[in-house]
Chain A
Amino acid sequence: MKPRRAVEIKGSALPVLRVVVRDCEPESLGDEMTAAVGSAGPLLADALAVLDLRERTVDGARPSMIVTAARNAGVRLAAVLLGEGGMRADLAEADLPIIESPLVAERSVPEAPEAHPTTASEDPANPASAGTSPPAPLCVTQPVRSGQRLYAQGRDLLVLAPTSRGAELIADGSIYAFGLLRGRALAGASGDKTARILATRLDAELVAVAGVYRTLEASDIAELGGGAASVALAFDEEGGERLVLRPV
């Protein structure tokens, strides 16, 4: 075996929770934070979180106040996400890394590439035409075991085998599981709100789309009838989002 270097730099896409704070009056901030953290339960207690202030406009509680409120509520913050003009200076004393990142635009339906039947049939491997098509899904044909984590970066994940409890499926796109899905499934990991999870037998511990997650109790599974199900985000008029589970 090659000797391993003692220090290596590697890329990663760790699942980190986002605490999204929108406009909020300073007076009610503490209560809202405590309520949100309380509803997240043990999930938040063990996990790192980033504070996402990108949906906040200039009015209401200042970033430094939000950081304090989050810490008081017991959230272990790793960084703050700011959009443009996000009052960077106000966070100078918070001792937290600041990530400037514009809100990910919701993925629009990709325009169908212009049809070039002649070129396509003559040279299917033409790199020019390949560049316009979406990347092929990451396809897994072996059982996904407890402790294993699969990440389909920038594409969909297609699982043609069972997924065990304690395994984790992550995709920037959607997740399609043809087989019993028992572990965790996180679709739209980079913020794609149109991502979905489809499973021919859904018995997951936790599902998430674009960071909105939900743990599944035995009663949820019973409601689905143990059969095929889909998980997707639904939006209400006020812009709120929730995960909807549906038998297929």
Chain B
Amino acid sequence: MAKVIVVTSGKGGVGKTTTSASFATGLANRGKKTAVIDFDIGLRNLDLILGCERRVVYDFVNVIQGDAKLSQALVRDKHSENLSILAASQTKDKEALKEEGVKQVLEDLKGMDFEYIICDSPAGIETGALMALRFADEALIVTNPEVSAVRDADRMLGIIEAKSLRAENGAERVKEHLVITRYAPKRADKGEMLSHTDVAELLSLPILGLIPESEQVLDCSNRGTPVILANGSPVALAFDDMVARYLGEERPLRFTEPESAPFWKRLFGG
């Protein structure tokens, strides 16, 4: 049975789209047939981060409004053949996201044997965000280690528990996972940002992914490559850990401690 996973945060700019792109790519590279949908109508980004913006002909709203077939609108990812992208509309209004239409698209994707359907939510708690979480089976809550992002994440968890279809039907709860991005262990150590344990405690959720702060994220976005493919970089390793944990592997958290200076630097006080 296909799983619908919403990637959401409440606050903007915390790394939802970066997380969606890398998570979806990670699943696809492990042989899972995956689709990722951009719910940020009017402000689409996901296609840029996955480097497929030139190949988007039809979008999510076109499919909902019946102007195009789902198969026409799905874009095959250039990095992984198991991954398909459904881009958001850049011109339409977010009110174009009708519940019935979203439901139909998700059903059709399930009918096409997708195993994982990732819904990349816009920021805020309005239509787009509500539609992204409406049919979710699981949720990745993305937050940064600072109080306002954590409070918004907490609010978002409450909304998932009230407004998701599972909650309304009294079905099994939406399974929630915590993803902390832009983590800088050095600053957490100094008390300049919340530590990962603080965040997990504030939100009463276990950590699925702990993604270190890195310049690489921006570089990769500019090049249209999901950062999980930046071989050997700490961010890529952290996202790979996250995907592995999601699929049931036990992996200890990494990048929780500040990097110690290289040996020669310590020796010569560089």
Contact = CB atoms under 8 A, between A and B. Distances in A.
A145 B158 contact: yes
Interface residues of B, number: 14
Interface in B162-180: 162, 173
Contacts of A162: 204
Nearest to B103: A1
Nearest to A164: B154
Contacts of A144: 158
Contact of B154 (A1, A142, A146): A146
B169 to A, nearest CB: 11
What DSSP secondary structure best describes chain B's contact surface? helix
B115 interface: no
A154 interface: no
Given A1-B99, A142-B161, A145-B161, A166 B155 contact: yes
A161 B159 CA distance: 17
Interface residues of A, number: 15
A1 B164 CA distance: 12
A14 to B, nearest CB: 18
A146 B152 CA distance: 8
B155 A147 contact: yes
What DSSP secondary structure best describes chain A's contact surface? loop
A166 B204 CA distance: 15
A103 to B, nearest CB: 36
A147 B99 contact: no
B99 A145 contact: no
Contacts of B161: 142, 145, 148
Interface string B51-83: 000000000000000000000000000000000
A146 B155 contact: yes
A191 interface: no
Nearest to B147: A165
Interface string A112-148: 0000000000000000000000000000001111111
A127 to B, nearest CB: 26
B151 A165 contact: yes
B43 to A, nearest CB: 24
A187 B155 CA distance: 23
A166 B99 contact: no
| A148, A166, A180, most chain B CB atoms within 10 A | A148
B99 A146 contact: no
Given A1-B99, A165-B151, A166-B151, A147 B159 contact: yes
B204 A146 contact: no
A161 B205 CA distance: 12
A165 B99 CA distance: 31
Given A1-B99, A165-B151, A166-B151, A147 B204 contact: no
B238 interface: no
B253 interface: no
Contacts of B158: 144-148, 167
B157 interface: yes
Contacts of B151: 146, 164-166
Q: What are the nearest 10 A-B pairs in CB distance?
A: A145-B158, A146-B154, A143-B204, A148-B158, A146-B155, A147-B155, A164-B154, A145-B157, A147-B158, A145-B154
Interface of A: 1, 142-148, 161-162, 164-167, 180
22 contacts: A142-B173, A143-B204, A145-B154, A145-B155, A145-B158, A145-B161, A146-B151, A146-B158, A147-B158, A147-B159, A148-B161, A161-B204, A162-B204, A164-B154, A164-B202, A164-B203, A165-B151, A165-B154, A166-B151, A166-B154, A167-B158, A180-B201
